[in-house]
Structure 1
């Protein structure tokens, strides 16, 4: 899959830039579209996803493969599932390079736009991967829950090293993990997706699953 094949949601770029209901016109719109175009042309998409058995060990404790996790929010999301996908994805270092270059020559507004464009692009990529996994599950008569990432709700970033180990993330995608548990390239995502035999339409996902109510990027 290439970046130019993804669905580009410019409204998400504008949301990350702080626009709410109204979207910019004229020069601002042109600059945003140019920055998105730069990023799409240079992005290098890579991902890995694997499916594992899921077993509940208690009300909010469960095992996925050989990983044991505890999270009230994720347990609620996964309730009724007997398998789960673990995934990792990245758009590569293009955004980091473009933003750094813009900052170096004093174009700070463009650096911010590249950051927003990168956030949109990695979400679009994850959505595309999600749809592919959903089709695989549907072929077996199964359904997927909304993806859930470390850092959402009460699922800590501390599980990242285990996710990286189980998926061999660095080898398969080139993503590395810093000592502070941040990923490089910065526009990278890890996630867990429950697999169920029932279409339960679990609603806890994205911003709605996070307890940080004062986030300026919250939908």
Structure 2
């Protein structure tokens, strides 16, 4: 079940804290190398995995942030936003070529989940750490699905649509260095995020993405 507190406006940025997004648990098992069709887990192992996934759920403190920005122009591979930010990627420019606006978004699982993974590793509970890591990745990514679904419902009432796909820096030719632009556009520091010299987000279970709006 999806739960959230009321969205808070920070300038043109919307922030929603403490959400519990719906997610596909099979994706966690896939990350762990298990196939729903080909793998038969013993009841004991399945129960152990479920308990660790629940532990991950309870440790996540998911926050999402998003803003809608006008697209000034698309000239592949470049997409120019209203503030003159240029996002470059052929896949991205193809996605946004018929869009008038871009949905810029972020999701973070918070610091507690990384502290849990670190503690499990130090206690030599590596199997549990791997399960928590996989669950945190899947659930944090599902928070972007939550954000897109919420925004799409608002857009549909106005006869507009959000693209089904989204792109994140580091995907395809959408360079990881563009994390710095997302960080600036969404005021990443206000979300408790930092960006290191390799353009990696801290805490690790954090992700930026962009989708397009048409109509």
Indicate the TM-score class for this superposition, using the shorter chain for normalisation: 0.7 to 0.9
Partners of 1:65 and 1:178 lie apart in 2 by: 26
Q: What is the CA-CA distance between 1:168 and the residue it aligns to? A: 0.7
Match of 1:31 among 22, 31, 48: 48
- Asked if 1:22 is matched to 2:38, the reply is yes
1:48–1:169 Cα contact (<8 Å) kept: no
Q: Which residue of structure 2 lines up, in the alignment, with residue 60 of structure 1?
A: 77
Q: Whose strand fraction is larger, Structure 1's or Structure 2's?
A: 2
Q: What is the CA-CA distance between 1:95 and the residue it aligns to? A: 2.3
Q: Which residue of structure 1 lines up, in the alignment, with residue 115 of structure 2?
A: 97
1:88–1:190 Cα contact (<8 Å) kept: yes
Report the secondary structure of 2:174's partner residue: coil
Indicate how the Cα distance of structure 1 residues 187 and 177 shifts in structure 2: closer, same or farther if over 3 A, else same.
same
Q: Which residue of structure 2 lines up, in the alignment, with residue 138 of structure 1?
A: 156
Q: How many residue pairs were aligned?
A: 195
**Higher RCO (CA-CA < 8 Å; seq separation 6+):** 1
Segments of 5+ residues of structure 1 without an aligned counterpart are: 198-219
Partners of 2:138 and 2:46 lie apart in 1 by: 16
Partners of 2:137 and 2:105 lie apart in 1 by: 17
RMSD: 1.5
Q: What is the CA-CA distance between 1:186 and the residue it aligns to? A: 0.9
Match of 2:134 among 98, 116, 120: 116
- Asked if 1:13 is matched to 2:31, the reply is no
Q: Which residue of structure 2 lines up, in the alignment, with residue 162 of structure 1?
A: 181
1:13-65 CA-to-partner distances (Å, cap 9, x unmatched) read: 11111123334342221122111111211211112100011132423222123
TM-score relative to the length of structure 1: 0.84
1:120-141 CA-to-partner distances (Å, cap 9, x unmatched) read: 1112211111111111211221
Partners of 1:74 and 1:57 lie apart in 2 by: 10
Partners of 1:51 and 1:17 lie apart in 2 by: 35
Runs of 4+ in 1 over 3 A off after TM superposition: none
Indicate how the Cα distance of structure 1 residues 124 and 25 shifts in structure 2: closer, same or farther if over 3 A, else same.
farther
| Residue pairs, 1:169-180, within 5 angstroms | 169-171=188-190, 173-180=191-198
Segments of 5+ residues of structure 2 without an aligned counterpart are: 5-17
